[in-house]
Amino acid sequence: MAEMNRINDAELENITGGVTRKVQNDAVDYANIRNAPGLDSSVIGRIDNGSKVETTGVHVKKDGYDWYEIHMGIAGHPTGWIAGSLIGY
């Protein structure tokens, strides 16, 4: 798989709605999507490395991470949350 360019903290602060970013988790082949920001939130899905996600523009800091709300497009879960450390371009 091609190397992903990581987004630095300043770039993460400026992510707005409608921005598409690539998912990359160096520990495993996927990233968890959660129902709310935070490590204690329920996992509602997984997305494979290399997949693209679209942000909604909502951003929260919790548990030492920047969390970004993303469009899911799944009935019952129109949006989900992903840690900013797992998205790049």
Q: How many domains does the chain have?
A: 1
Domain span holding position 2: 1-53
Residue 60 included in any domain? no
What confidence score (pLDDT) does residue 36 get? 97
Is 37 inside any structural domain?
yes
Summarize pLDDT for 3-41 with one digit per residue, the tens.
Answer: 556 655 556 556 667 788 899 999 999 999 999 999 999
CA 48 centroid distance within chain: 11
What pLDDT score does 6 carry?
60
Say what the alpha-carbon torsion angle 48, 86, 25, 63 is, to the nearest 10 degrees.
-120
Six-digit token pair at 44?
């509602």
84 located within any domain: no
The SS3 of residue 33 is strand
